[in-house]
Every structure is written in C-alpha cells, then in structure tokens.
C-alpha cells in the first residue's frame, strides 16, 4: 500500500521524494490544494471515499498516517 501512496504523492508533487521525507505538511511538501488533489487521487485509486471529518492535515503528514486513514475508510 505504501508504494502506491508514494506513486500518488509523486503524481501530486513530483519534485519531492516522499519515500525519504516525513512531516509532509509541516515541511511544506504538501499544501491545502495538494491535499484536495491527494484525497481525490486516493479515493479513485483505492475505490473508497475518505470521510470529510478525516481530511485533516495530521492524517496526511506521513506515509503511516495516510495509510491509517485509508484503512479507516475501507482501503484494503
């Protein structure tokens, strides 16, 4: 799952190496517009719908936090 998340992140912001970074939001790798694009791509790729209450910066800060929110919303 993490490899697919990295692919999606690289599609949103190809100039960063998300496999080597942490703290995506606080380090400026993702902004609010990027989060919207990311959520849309994650929903499509994993055939889920991330609940609006889960679209919080802390849920998209690291690969682990993204994976957790995906699992919470039904991604296999």
Predicted local confidence at residue 15, as pLDDT:
96
Predicted local confidence at residue 69, as pLDDT:
98
Residue range of the domain that includes 11? 2-72
Predicted local confidence at residue 50, as pLDDT:
97
What's the pLDDT tens digit per position in 6-47? Answer: 999 999 999 999 998 889 999 999 999 999 999 999 999 999
Confidence label for 71 from pLDDT (cuts 50, 70 and 90): very high
- Output the furthest CA–CA distance in the chain (Å, rounded): 29
Predicted local confidence at residue 76, as pLDDT:
87
Residue with tokens 């400026």: 28
Counted domains in the chain: 1
Q: What is the CATH number of the domain that holds 55?
A: 1.10.1200.10
Task: Please state the pTM of the whole predicted model.
Answer: 0.94
DSSP string, the chain: -HHHHHHHHHHH-TTS-TTT---TTTTTS--HHHHHHHHHHHHHHHT----GGG--GGGGSSHHHHHHHHHHTT--
């Amino acid at each position: 799952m993490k490899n697919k998340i990295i692919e999606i992140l690289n599609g949103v912001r190809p100039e960063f190496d998300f496999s080597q970074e942490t703290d995506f939001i606080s380090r400026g790798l993702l902004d609010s517009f990027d989060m919207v694009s990311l959520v849309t791509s994650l929903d499509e790729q994993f055939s889920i719908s991330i609940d609006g209450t889960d679209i919080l910066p802390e849920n998209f800060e690291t690969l682990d936090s993204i994976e957790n929110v995906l699992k919470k919303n039904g991604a296999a």
